[in-house]
Structures are given as structure tokens and as C-alpha cells.
């Protein structure tokens, strides 16, 4: 099916620094292959070699050959490759060309100039296969992350390719949607398709992958069958856990001495006529690391926005010690580290970013904060030029500088490997020691087990459970039932 022969590649034409080196693989028809390894190990680059984006879109020095069904891939133009290879990417926001779902599903077929009747029958076929009838003719931007990724899979499926290449498809998905993705891959596998998937989150791939390739610095250093892979210690290789049953609560009990931070009563928010948030009464413990869990669309983000005081029409009582807070007070006490952290970095240097948050500029205090967050060596750097994790720390630094008491993180670990997830954990523990209460909206079971001490479980805009960290309850929610 696919034969990779002595592939080496370097983006910056540097012969001493290969992003991929000496890759040799024979992939048989119907196999499901997992590519894993730390960020920057070359797995995304390998997917780009296979789907033709290298050399058609990304330039660099390439050696070696890839054969797709005995045809040399270099000699096939990229639009021709798209008939045989379907690609799904990490970021649902940027892989859609259309705004409406139906238009997107048929987009590939239109490009390949199939006739309208054929397109119609293929559309019907994938709609049935993926059970997405209710999603047709909708605005893609209004769908949840899981639904978006389903549409992405359906769109590449409509071309009927033989090989699917998925680059971190589950980054933005909740647990249930990840399991749905497993079903999609199983479905492909059953119909004899070959699937190559590069991923950090592994838990949903347990029962569908055949072989695992582990990459390190651009080289394949380990090859496992799935059974061998299940028995290795993932942490030794810097990988996420494949079997969530193997995870245990790291910090049992509360960090501090069980005081209440605040109480919310009749906290509610309507969007138009729809009640998106409806919380009768909930007490929130002080100085803990609190996970907010729930399905995509359960109201977690709305809750976070209301907690930050960003929603003007959010009603309810907020009791803080013995005072009642207003929306404006919340705005002063809380800070959200957004999922797209680019939206909250405004200045030209890291130091300015921190100074901007201070009432009165105090350079030595700012430098102290940067030192503690391991950012001091970057203080003159432009925030936009930093890596994702560094940007996140800059946002945290500015929150500390402005004296916020509550920090809310929106999906801080989506798309992160184990090492970077651990760094987020460290930051959270550091914030806890400073006396800050953190809320974390997350689908990342591993992160919750590692660092959280309290859980708010949301569903349909309500908090249906509010508990001290509890392994059984969490597993009940995250594992496949």
C-alpha cells in the first residue's frame, strides 16, 4: 500500500539538522498505524510527506522515496494524491474551506470534478455512515469541537480515499467525542482502509491500532505491536497513558484547609430565550485546583465567562466571605487564560506585558514574577514569537502581576505531550502556593489525575456534581461505558 524508503527531510535545508531521518516503513493495506513521540519528534512531518504537503506546500531538502500503490509519490501532482489520501488536521477552525457543512462535505468531490449525481450519492453514503443527518446545512462555526471533527472526517471520506492520514485529530475533543472518533477509525478499518494517525492523546486508540511507531528526533527508534505497546511504561517514553485505568489520583485530598472561597446562588445566564447556565447554589473551595468537566456544549465556557464577569446579563448572587460581589468586582478578581492565548498578549515584549497589568509599574516585582515562571531569559522577546507553553506562562505572569485571586484556564493542555502537560501541572501547583484558586476547563483526564483536587461536573448548563477529587466518579465519566 505505502512504502517509505530512506526518507530524510529538513525544513531549513540544513543537512546536519534533519527533521526526519532514515525512515523506512512498509505499510500494508488495512493497517492502522499510530505515530507517537514528543512534540517536535517529526510525526507531523511524516504525515506531510505522506499526504504530499511536502514538497508541494512546505519546502525543504528531501531525500528518499515514498511509493503509494507502487507509484512514486513525487511524480503524482497533489490534487491527484488527494484521490487516494485523505487528511484530517488538528485545528477544526482552519481545515474547513466552507462555512456550511454540506458544502464542506462535497468540497473534495467538486474539486475532483465528479458529476453532480455521483456527488449526491456519495453525500448520502457518508451521511449514513457517520450518522450526521442532523448536522447537514448547518454553520460549521456553530458546531461543537466533536461535531466539527466528525464533519472533517466525513468530508475526506466522501472522496473514498484508500489511505487516511490524521494529524492530532483529538486535540480539541471531549472524552465522548474521542470515543466517537475511535468508532470512525474502526469503521474505516473494517472497510479495508489504511489509517495513519499521529497523536499525543492515546487512550481512545487502545482497541483500533495495529502497530505503533515511536519517533525521537526525526528517527523511528521503537516499533511495537499494539500488545507490546500496552505493556510498556508510557512515562519512560514521555507518552500519554493509553489505558486510563492505569492512572491514579496523584494528590489525594485538598491542598489547603477546606475553606469556602465563594458561594454562587441562582447564578444563571440566558442566551436569547435559551437558558445556557442555571446554577441553583454551589460552594467553591478556596485555594484549590478545580477541574470543570462536562461534554462539549455543557456550558463550561459560559460558566467561565460569567465567573470572569464578562457576561453583562448574567444574573445571580455571588457571596464572597460576607460580602456580595457585583459583576465589576468579579472582573477585578478573576483572569482567564484563554485557549487561544494569542488573543490576550498585546505588547511588544514579555516584560511590557507584565508591566501593563500592574496598577503602578514596578520593574523589580515584574522581573521577580518572570523569574519564578522561568521566563526571565525571554523578557525582551516578543510574546507572539514564543512557543505555546511560554505564551501561556506569560499570560499567567500578567495575571499574577495584576493581583488576581482566581485564574481560569480554558483547555490549557489540548494538543500537549506529556512533558508539556507536566509543566502546566507545575504552574498550577505554583499558583496554588501563591494562594490563588484555579479553575481548569479540561477534557484531559491525565491532567486532572495529576494535579486537580476538586471537580465541578457540568451538564446542560447545570452543575450536576461538585466533589473532592474522586477516582471512581472521574473514571465513570471519562472511560467508555
Query: What is the contact surface with another protein in residues (CB under 8 A)?
Result: 51-53, 56-58, 77-79, 81-83, 85-87, 89, 91, 93-100, 102-103, 106-116, 119-120, 123, 139, 141, 155-156, 159, 305, 308, 310, 331-332, 334-336, 338, 340, 342-346, 356-357, 384, 398, 402
* Least CB distance to another protein at residue 9 (A): 16
- H helix or E strand, kind and range, residue 365: helix 363-372
Strand-by-strand arrangement of the 315-320 sheet: 274-285, 260-271, 315-320, 323-324
* Least CB distance to another protein at residue 399 (A): 8
Strand-by-strand arrangement of the 462-468 sheet: 334-337, 406-410, 437-441, 289-293, 454-459, 462-468
| Pick from 41, 422, 389, 414: nearest CA to 235 | 422
Closer to another protein by Cβ: residue 274 or 343: 343
Q: Which positions ≥6 away from 225 have C-beta within 8 Å?
A: 210, 211, 212
Give the span between the Cα atoms of 204 and 182, in whole angstroms.
Answer: 6
* Least CB distance to another protein at residue 306 (A): 12
Other beta carbons within 10 angstroms of residue 16's beta carbon come to 5
Closer to another protein by Cβ: residue 139 or 225: 139
Closer to another protein by Cβ: residue 169 or 238: 169
Closer to another protein by Cβ: residue 202 or 341: 341
Closer to another protein by Cβ: residue 101 or 241: 101
Closer to another protein by Cβ: residue 108 or 238: 108
Give the span between the Cα atoms of 437 and 455, in whole angstroms.
Answer: 13
Across 29-66, b (16+ Cβ under 10 Å) vs e yields ebbbbbbbbbbebbbbbbbbbbbbbbeeeeebebebeb
- Side-chain-side CA neighbours of 385 within 13 Å: the count stands at 9
* Least CB distance to another protein at residue 423 (A): 22
What are the DSSP calls for 409-449, one per residue?
Answer: EESTTTT--HHHHHHHHHHHHHHHHTT-EEEEE---HHHHH
Closer to another protein by Cβ: residue 326 or 419: 326
* Least CB distance to another protein at residue 235 (A): 31
Structure-block grid coordinates of residue 431: 499558583
Closer to another protein by Cβ: residue 257 or 328: 328
* Least CB distance to another protein at residue 336 (A): 6
In the chain the first and final C-alpha atoms are separated, in Å, by 35
Closer to another protein by Cβ: residue 20 or 455: 20
**With 0-12 CB in 10 A as exposed, 13-18 as middle and 19+ as buried, what is 12?**
exposed
* Least CB distance to another protein at residue 98 (A): 4
| Pick from 348, 349, 354: nearest CA to 371 | 354
Amino acid at each position: 500500500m505505502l512504502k517509505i524508503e530512506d526518507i530524510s527531510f529538513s525544513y531549513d535545508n540544513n543537512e546536519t539538522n534533519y527533521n526526519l531521518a532514515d525512515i523506512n516503513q512498509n505499510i500494508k493495506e488495512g493497517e492502522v498505524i499510530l505515530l507517537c513521540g514528543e512534540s517536535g519528534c517529526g510525526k507531523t512531518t511524516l504525515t506531510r510527506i505522506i499526504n504530499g504537503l511536502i514538497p508541494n506546500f512546505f519546502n525543504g531538502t528531501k531525500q528518499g522515496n515514498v511509493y503509494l500503490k507502487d507509484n512514486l509519490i513525487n511524480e503524482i501532482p497533489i490534487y491527484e494524491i488527494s484521490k487516494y489520501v485523505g487528511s484530517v488536521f488538528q485545528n477544526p477552525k482552519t481545515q474547513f474551506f466552507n462555512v456550511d457543512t454540506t458544502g464542506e462535505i462535497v468540497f473534495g468531490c467538486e474539486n475532483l470534478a465528479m458529476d453532480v449525481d455521483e456527488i449526491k450519492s456519495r453525500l448520502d453514503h457518508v451521511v449514513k455512515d457517520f450518522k450526521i443527518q442532523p448536522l447537514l446545512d448547518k454553520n460549521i462555526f456553530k458546531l461543537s469541537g466533536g461535531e466539527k471533527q466528525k464533519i472533517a472526517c466525513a468530508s475526506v471520506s466522501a472522496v473514498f480515499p484508500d489511505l487516511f492520514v490524521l494529524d492530532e485529530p483529538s486535540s480539541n475533543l471531549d472524552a465522548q467525542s474521542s470515543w466517537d472518533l475511535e468508532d470512525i477509525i474502526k469503521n474505516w478499518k473494517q472497510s479495508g482502509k489504511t489509517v495513519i494517525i499521529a497523536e499525543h492523546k492515546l487512550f481512545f486508540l487502545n482497541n483500533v491500532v495495529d502497530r505503533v511507531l515511536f519517533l525521537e528526533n526525526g528517527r523511528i527508534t521503537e516499533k511495537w505491536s499494539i500488545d507490546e505497546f500496552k505493556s510498556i511504561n508510557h512515562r519512560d517514553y514521555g507518552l500519554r497513558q493509553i489505558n486510563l485505568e492505569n492512572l491514579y489520583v496523584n494528590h489525594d485530598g485538598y491542598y489547603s484547609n477546606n475553606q469556602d472561597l465563594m458561594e454562587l446562588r441562582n447564578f444563571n445566564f440566558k442566551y436569547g430565550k435559551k437558558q445556557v447556565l442555571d446554577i441553583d447554589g454551589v460552594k467553591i473551595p478556596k485555594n484549590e485546583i478545580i477541574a470543570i468537566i462536562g461534554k462539549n456544549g455543557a456550558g463550561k465556557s459560559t460558566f467561565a465567562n460569567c465567573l470572569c464577569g464578562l457576561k453583562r446579563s448574567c444574573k445571580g448572587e455571588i457571596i464572597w466571605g460576607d460580602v456580595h460581589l457585583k459583576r465589576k468586582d468579579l472582573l477585578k478578581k478573576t483572569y482567564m487564560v484563554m485557549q487561544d492565548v494569542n488573543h490576550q498578549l498585546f505588547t511588544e515584549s514579555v516584560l511590557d506585558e507584565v508591566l501593563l497589568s500592574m496598577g503602578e509599574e514596578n520593574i523589580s516585582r515584574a522581573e521577580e514574577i518572570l523569574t519564578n515562571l522561568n521566563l526571565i531569559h525571554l523578557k525582551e522577546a516578543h510574546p507572539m514569537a514564543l512557543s505555546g507553553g511560554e505564551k501561556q506562562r506569560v499570560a499567567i505572569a500578567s495575571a499574577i502581576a495584576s493581583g488576581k485571586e482566581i485564574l481560569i484556564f480554558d483547555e490549557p493542555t489540548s494538543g500537549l505531550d506529556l512533558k508539556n502537560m507536566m509543566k502546566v501541572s507545575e504552574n498550577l501547583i505554583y499558583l496554588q502556593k501563591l494562594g490563588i484558586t484555579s479553575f481548569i476547563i479540561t477534557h484531559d483526564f491525565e491532567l486532572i489525575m495529576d494535579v486537580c483536587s476538586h471537580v465541578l461536573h457540568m451538564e446542560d448548563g447545570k452543575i450536576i456534581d461538585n466533589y473532592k477529587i474522586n477516582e471512581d466518579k472521574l473514571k465513570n465519566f471519562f472511560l467508555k461505558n
